[in-house]
Amino acid sequence: MSVISPTAARFEYVLTGADETFLWRRDDYPWERNVWNFHPEVEIHYIANASGILLAGDHVGAFGPGHISIIGSNLPHDWVTPLGPDERIPGRDIVIQFLPAKLEQASVFLPELAGFREFLTHAQRGLALKGQARAEAEALILDMEFQTGPLRLSTFLSLLSLMRGTEDYDVLSSEAYIPDLRYGSLEALQKVFAHIFANLSEDIRLPDMAKMAGMSDSAFSRFFKKNSGHSFTDHVNKLRIWKASQLLAETDLPITDICFEAGYRNLSNFNRVFLRHHNMTPSRYRKLSTNRRADPLPQTATDQASGGE
């Protein structure tokens, strides 16, 4: 597995024009801002044509084509799709970003906008739309591409109204997650994240990662837990089970081979951790993957999993 180079995670500066309430942008993948980052703007993120894994605060979960998430202000996030050297996915992402303060200021003159305040507070932890709400939001997001002026603004407000009025979503990050948003801390974490993604099938040891981050083992363990929301071992296990799930659903590799491809050194340990994450065995998961594509990891399985290798 290969991923984008381990460039520093950073504060992202989002520039909207003086005549814009929000930014709408379609991005190829990867590009220079595809890193573990945060910004004061709320972000609505649509994945057009790829699968991978979403990191949002302490959430670790799979995404597929059509995935729509709302990321709250200053919640660190990244959508990662494994790629080979020189691979590129045209138009993978549509990104909508806006400052909550703009809606707050506008609500002084347009009282109807005040109703979005509670929704934006709720979205602070990140939300992933599902069901009919996701389908309706997708249509609105795509409509905006060729709209301008008041029509585009109207569609944007319709999108926010849809999101505010639905309960068809999963909450991503936990209430307990409070990251350290200093630039140096996020840069160190991004380097570690990138190394883990690129080396899931290899032996990944905490002391080596601590050295990469320039910390002692104990300091790194505390740092990683605070900023990722998981212990180092739990985080690596989540990513390895995600990789194994893809291989089970998309290939005919024997389960023993998948065990080693995902970085586990014995089958019994792999089966035990997989069962804890998915509440089913690898062979059962493969049988249920009738469309031969990786199913998104259920939030309950992803967020409740834990355990050592």
Q: What pLDDT, in 10s, does the model give residues 252-295? A: 999 999 999 999 999 999 999 999 999 999 999 998 885 444 44
pLDDT tens readout for residues 95-121: 999 998 888 888 888 888 888 888 888
- Which phi and psi (to 5°) does residue 284 adopt? -65, -40
The pLDDT of 188-204, averaged and rounded, is 89
Q: Is the dihedral of CA 290, 299, 203, 83 positive or negative?
A: positive
- What residue type is 214 in one-letter code? G
Tens of pLDDT, residues 122-170: 899 999 999 999 999 999 999 999 999 999 999 999 999 999 999 999 9
What does the block give as tokens for 28? 């190829």
Which residue matches tokens 């380097």?
A: 191
| Domains of the chain by start residue, with CATH | 23-171 (2.60.120), 183-304 (1.10.10.60)
Amino acid, res. 60: V
- Backbone phi, then psi, for 143, in 5-degree steps? -60, -35
- Residue 290 Ramachandran class (φ > 0 left, ψ -120 to 50 alpha, else beta): alpha
Token duo for residue 154: 């109207």
Q: Is the pTM of this model over 0.85?
A: no
The whole-number pLDDT of residue 168 equals: 96
For 134-165, b/e burial (b = at least 16 CB within 10 A) is bebbbebbeebeeeeeeebeebbbebbebbee
Q: Is the pLDDT of residue 6 over 60?
A: no
